[in-house]
Amino acid sequence: MAALAGLRALRRLCGVALFLSQLYVLSGRAGSLMTTKHSQPQSTFGKSLTSTSTNTPYFKIAESTEIPSYVTKCPSNGLCSRLPPDCMTCNTNYSCIYGKPATFDCKVKPYVHCLDQNNHEQENFTINMTCQFCWQLATTDYVCTNSTNCMTVSCPRQRYNATCTVRDHIHCLGNRVFPKMLYCNWTGGYKWSTALALSITLGGFGADRFYLGQWREGLGKLFSFGGLGIWTLIDVLLIGVGYVGPADGSLYI
């Protein structure tokens, strides 16, 4: 009897264990199904966001157009014949007669707008100029670099290598930037009238030489009392004719 009761209890325990195991399995499947159902819309939404931001941008970047630097020198809606040479391209004829008037066919460069005499926009036009190269122009038609290292008061007069650029309103043949040998003509701010006045009044004490930056000669005149007056008279003549100038080699104002 006791054995039969034990077998019955064991069957009940096995039935309970089997029921619990089936319940655990069913609950696990339901959780996985719920997770899959909720995760699918989220992944789809994420994909839609990614594809939207990558394939279909919200705006398009405007293409940048670079404007040439010469446009800043070209007046807008002005006469084509008065445009600076940097604003046009001309068919120059180098076989023209030097010093004679010449006419050349020109065309405006891109981004340049000009008008004719009737206020009509045009691209092709003609210009009149004198047949000559840029380096043959008058000194007033170009601007050159200055040198502060050469001696302006010397015999013979010194020259220096300068780089010259033709003014914008001047038309000529060849390169508009060219080298040229020029005489030294810079100034350090010394006045000829001041130097002459000091030489006449205080030349015996070397004031004129001190003013011109010649310290050694100034000390020599100071301690020799102007060379007993002889040196003073000589300096008055030399400064008066411009032979004695500033120590830095510049010109008088």
pLDDT, tens only, 136-162: 999 899 999 888 777 776 667 788 889
47 has a pLDDT exceeding 50: no
- List 125's β-bridge partners, or say none: 106
Q: What is the DSSP letter of 83?
A: S
Arithmetic mean of pLDDT, 206-224 = 91
Phi and psi based region of residue 60 (left: phi greater than 0; alpha: psi -120 to 50; beta: remaining):
beta
Arithmetic mean of pLDDT, 218-234 = 90
Arithmetic mean of pLDDT, 117-130 = 88
pLDDT bracket for residue 6 (50, 70, 90): low
pTM greater than 0.75: no
127 and 90 in contact (C-beta within 8 Å)?
yes
| Nearest in space to 13 (alpha carbons), one of 63, 210, 248, 5 | 5
Cα distance from N-terminal residue to C-terminal residue, the chain: 144
Q: How far apart are CA 106 and CA 127, in angstroms?
A: 7
More confidently predicted of 25 and 213: 213
Q: Strand (E) positions, 16-123?
A: 78-79, 88-91, 101-108, 114-115
15 has a pLDDT exceeding 90: no
Q: Which two tokens stand for residue 153?
A: 């008061």
In percent, the amount of the chain with pLDDT more than 70 equals 74
